[in-house]
Structures are given as structure tokens and as C-alpha cells.
Amino acid sequence: MLRRLFAAAVLIAAIFAVLVVSGTVEFDSSSLSISTGSGRSTKAGGAKRTAKATRSTALGAVPAPITEASGLAASRRNRGVVWTHNDSGGAASLYALGRRAELKVTLPLSGAVNTDWEDIAWGPGPEGGADWLYAADIGDNDAVRSSIRVYRTAEPNLSGFSDGALLAPSATTSVELSYPDGARDAEALIVDPKSNDLYLITKRESRSRIYRARAPGFAGESVQLSYVGALGYGDVVGASACPNGRTVLVKRYFALDAYVGSSVADALAGSPSPRLLEAEPQGEAVAANPKCSGYYTLSEGSSQQLIRYSR
């Protein structure tokens, strides 16, 4: 009898293993749950790498001088840190926030001007160097700017700095961008982590338009953007790409979508999948976390909550 039970158990285990490998069944070790799948993900925890979330946590109220946060970028170099900035007219500085939304450091960008900063992105730097920050001076409410600009600077290592420290101005390079079809208002920047291409998504059209600059050199050059497509809706106020380049989050004031594909371009050409989003007074900022297992959001306004989303 015991031999038969043992043989049956071995057979069941073997069948289960085949189903997991084939993708027919997905095993989530974090929640010890089993669910049937489509067969497209064969790695444990594959669903986690598309920035899905089932719960949110308010980490704390961001302090002054952060009163008009318009963008977020999650750090890979400094664990648990996210970077943000103020909207138009604010200082040309980036602010690092910690796990409780405390101000870690202020990083001024040398030679930069905050005309209308609307987003920040993480991405690779020159010759594939990792951990660079891109500040997007791309806002244009009245669509009158003949050109816009994106700044790039190396992300500093924050170990050894006390909370609230003011860092020395960081060396900054930039690229000047113009649209092929007239000035437009944009609030979303994506840096492709594989190709270094820049993607801008406009705000005020009924279908937000997507423009690309192919791997600019950030040597002060002027580059004309190329139109590559449009989303199925307008009012886009922020975006973020996962470090693997295969998941892109696109934010509106009251909705958040994920686009998944083999690359940033492929993802943006696909169909959106909704993601959890808490109500915010004027939420314009979103950042995928470094593992693409969740994300952060932050609203404009004084003492707003930095919110972390996770499974």
C-alpha cells in the first residue's frame, strides 16, 4: 500500500513539473499559490517582472522644497531611493527620497535651467555606463516652444551622505529636441535601456502621440524627433520603463497602464493592461522599481504621499 502511495506521489510530482516547465501552470513562490497560465511565461515569478501590484503602501509625506513633483525615477545604484524634481520655475535640482519619503540629498544640475521640467528617467549613459539620470524639460502648456531639452547626469553614490545634504553641482550634458510637426506639450519621457533612444509622449491630444530621438549623443546637439505612433487615449502625464526594456508604464491622472513587449518600441505598439493606482490630487509621476516587480507614484502639491505599489 505504501509503495503504491509513494509511486502515485512521484507520478503526480512529475506531471506537475512538466506542467510548470511548459508554462501550463505557474508557481508563485512568494504567495505559495498555483494558477493556470497561458504558457507564455516559463520562469518562476515571471508575472512579477511586468510591474504588477495588488497593494499599495504610503511611505510618508515628501518634505519641502518638493511641492510640485512631476516625475519619478527609481534608483538601481542606491537601494530604496527614488529621484524626483519640481515642475516649471523650480530649481534645476534633483531630489533623492528614501524609504520613508525623507529627503536624502539635493543634487543641483550644473548649467541646467528648469523652464518646465515634467519627467525624470533612469537610463544608461555614455558607452553603456550604468545609472544615469535624465531630466526632461519638455513641458509646453501653450505649445509655443520652438525646442525643448533633456539633461543627463551621472547618478551619485549616496552612501556616506547625511540626510538632507546638499551635494556639489553635478556635471550635466543635454540634447535639444524639436518636433517635426510643430510645438507640443509633453509630460512623459522614456529612456530605452537597451538602445538609449528617447521617447516622448504628448499630453493634450485626444490620442497622445509618441515621438522618438535615436540615441542622441548629449553633446548639446539639436535633434528632430520622429513621430512613431499614438496611444488609444490622451492626457498622458508620466511614463517609466523597466530596466529590462520590456515593460513600460504610462500614467494619466486617474489611470495607469502597462505595455509589455520585446522592447520599448514593441511594448508601446501593443495593447495596454491596467495597473493599480491610488487616487491622488494631481498625480503626474510614476516609476517602475529596479526589479520591475512594482512601482511608485507621487502627486504634485505640498506634503504629498510617496506611494509604493507591490504584490
Mean pLDDT of 11-34: 36
C-alpha 79: how far from its chain's center?
16
Residue of 184 and 2 predicted with greater confidence: 184
280 half-sphere exposure, CB direction, 13 A CA radius: 33
Mean pLDDT of 149-172: 97
Closest CA to 49 of 291, 308, 295, 304: 291
Residue of 287 and 42 predicted with greater confidence: 287
Tell whether the model's pLDDT for residue 35 goes beyond 80.
Answer: no
Instruction: Assign 200 to helix, strand or coil.
Output: strand
Domains of the chain: 1-44 (no CATH), 50-310 (2.120.10)
Tell whether the model's pLDDT for residue 266 goes beyond 70.
Answer: yes
Mean pLDDT of 156-160: 96
Mean pLDDT of 204-213: 98
pLDDT at 48: 59
Tell whether the model's pLDDT for residue 14 goes beyond 60.
Answer: no
Q: What gap in Å lies between CA 141 and CA 183, rounded to an integer?
A: 10
pLDDT at 127: 76
Q: For the chain, give the percent of residues with pLDDT over 90.
A: 82
Residues in contact with 12: Cβ distance below 8 Å, sequence separation at least 6, in sequence order: none
Mean pLDDT of 3-29: 40
Number of helices (H), then strands (E), belonging to the chain: the values are 2, 24
- Residue 252 pairs in a beta bridge with 255
Structure-block grid coordinates of residue 132: 544615469
Residue of 71 and 1 predicted with greater confidence: 71
Query: Residue 59: pLDDT band by 50, 70, 90 thresholds?
Result: very high
Q: What gap in Å lies between CA 94 and CA 96, rounded to an integer?
A: 7
Give the model confidence (pLDDT) of 88-113 as tens digits: 988 999 999 999 999 999 999 999 99
pLDDT at 129: 72
Give the model confidence (pLDDT) of 112-132 as tens digits: 999 999 999 999 998 777 799
Give the model confidence (pLDDT) of 133-153 as tens digits: 999 999 999 999 999 999 999
- Lowest average pLDDT, out of 118-132, 169-183, 252-266, goes to 118-132
Mean pLDDT of the chain: 88
